[in-house]
Amino acid sequence: MASSSSLLCEEQLQCAICLDVFTDPVSTPCGHNFCMSCLRECWDSSSYCQCPVCKQDFDKRPELRVNTFISGLAVQFRKLGQVKSSSRAEQLGFASTKVLCDCCTGEKLEALKSCLDCGVSYCNTHLMPHRSATKLKKHKLIDAVEKLKDYICQKHERPLELFCRDDQMCVCQFCTEGDHKTHSTVPIEEESQAKKSQLGMAQAKGQQLIQDRVRKIEEIKHSVKLHRRNTEKQEVDSMKMFDDLMRCVERNQAELLEDMKEKQRVAEWQAEEFIKELEEEITEMKRRDTELEQLSHTDDHLHFLQMYSSMCSPKHIKNCTDIRFNPEMSGEPLMRALSELQEYLSKEMEKLAEMKLKKIQQYAVDVTLDPDTVHPYLILSEDRKQVTCGDCVQSYPDNPERFNRCPCVLGKEGFSSGRSYYEVQVRGKTMWDLGVARESIIRKGKITACPENGYWSLCLRHETDYKACESRWISLSLKQKPEKIAVFVDYEEGLVSFYDVKSKTCIYSFTGQSFSEKLYPYFSPCLSDKGQNSIPLIISPVKHSA
């Protein structure tokens, strides 16, 4: 059967709060164990109730009862620890496991006591004179120690029996008659007890400091949790606002289109009425014209004169010039309304863009350039925040991480989780590459920047030709030339986005990526092009949007 020492270890019976062996151990519903007093103090000092280890929240404070099984194990372990205390003290340098008798001539036996007056350690046999001789009985005996000289005054060769509180050192009786004559001295036993009391207070203070820090950690974690919830709520609110805005646009557009159709229907009805009226008048005038033609050939003069008056003076007919078909130009108010709506939408989109940029700026990280990866032609500034291309090879060591053909350099700091944001000034340059690259990229020879090769980047060529470096590079049409580019990485979401900091607009995003290793900021100032592209890329401090 295995011994108890092989089955138990201090970590298994250690409270995660006080870091000591359990005292009155209790179990939480999630299965973790703590000292009852530690857990109660932790919960009493917090406004919420959760497990200090796994952070599971409890709606109702659990009833705590001592776990008798774990309590029994803790008691056994404490007893085992007492047996091993001497060996631990030896490891710490507080005591020796075995001190040999100084008087044994043959095989030396283990010493039992050390005499501070004689300066010698004795086994049980050689200690007998100190127990029987009257003079020797007055000697100061202590448990056998290996470095006996540490217990004897080196100046007077007398036992160090007193403690000088002025000089904070152990002294002998003769010292108090010389250098320490006017000093405050007390027996070392008395000072030791006083110091032990102080030590106990220091331990209590240390435990309190530990508890304070445990509570602070809990507070910070709780604050992070609340901040995460607030951020998620802001995301939901932003999306809702955007959805409401789009619904408003669609509703207004539908109303405008319906209004336009209604006006068109009215216009068509008016036109039909005008056409009908004009056609009726045309028919009437044709009939009268026929009658006039017939009347002009009659020989019945009486009939001609009787009909002439009524035929030449027909009932009133409208003047065609008075008939105007001028329906309201429904397209003009529609376009005007759409223009106003577009302007409103543009302003709202700007607000949303500003909100989004402000949100991701909170993930700003400090990025510096890694001199172990820089191409031999590139020159780094002293603070490693700027990089430009020189005209000659620099004296860099031939590191395996160094780019040897493409003028590139990586950031010193990498990202393996969470969100990261940084800004790079590109103003005045005609060519550059920016983005992130995975740790295992090939850095020797020709490089094709694309996600398949471990690069997620944008580039500028010929001063105005912006491209997203996908498997097949995508040309980008930008309204204005960016002066500062922001790079945002969401590792878990597989997202790399690029922003124009000034206009607060997203230039391009790589979405749906799968990151499995560390990512590093990637920079290339490109060749100087006979001085046309000599301005450096500059990692800029992030100025949060107002």
d(CA 424, CA 397): 27
Q: What are phi and psi of 502, to 5 degrees?
A: -65, -50
Quick check: 96 and 146 in contact, CB under 8 A?
Answer: yes
| The pLDDT of residue 543 | 83
Query: What are the structure tokens assigned to 483, written together?
Result: 């002066």
| The pLDDT of residue 453 | 94
| The pLDDT of residue 44 | 83
Quick check: 142 and 118 in contact, CB under 8 A?
Answer: no
Buried b (16+ CB within 10 A) or exposed e, 366-388: ebebbbebbbbbbebeeebbbbb
In the predicted model, residues of the chain with pLDDT beneath 70 are 1-11, 81-97, 238-239, 242-243, 306, 308-342, 344-346, 545-546
Report helix, strand or coil for 380: strand
Task: Give the dihedral of Cα atoms 346, 347, 350, 352; nearest 10 deg.
Answer: -100
The CATH superfamily assigned to 10-81 is Zinc/RING finger domain, C3HC4 (zinc finger) (3.30.40.10)
The CATH superfamily assigned to 113-190 is Classic Zinc Finger (3.30.160.60)
Query: What are the structure tokens assigned to 289, written together?
Result: 């014209």
| The pLDDT of residue 86 | 47
Q: What is the pLDDT of residues 214-243, one digit of tens each?
A: 888 888 888 888 878 877 777 777 667 766
Architecture of domain 378-540: Sandwich (2.60)
Q: What is the pLDDT of residues 354-365, one digit of tens each?
A: 788 888 999 999
Q: What is the pLDDT of residues 142-175, one digit of tens each?
A: 888 888 888 888 888 788 889 999 888 999 888 9
For the chain, first and last CA: distance in Å?
70
Instruction: Compute the C-alpha angle 328/329/332, nearest 5°.
Output: 135
Q: Quick one: 125 exposed, middle or buried, by C-beta within 10 A (0-12, 13-18, 19+)?
A: exposed
| The pLDDT of residue 10 | 61
| The pLDDT of residue 276 | 86
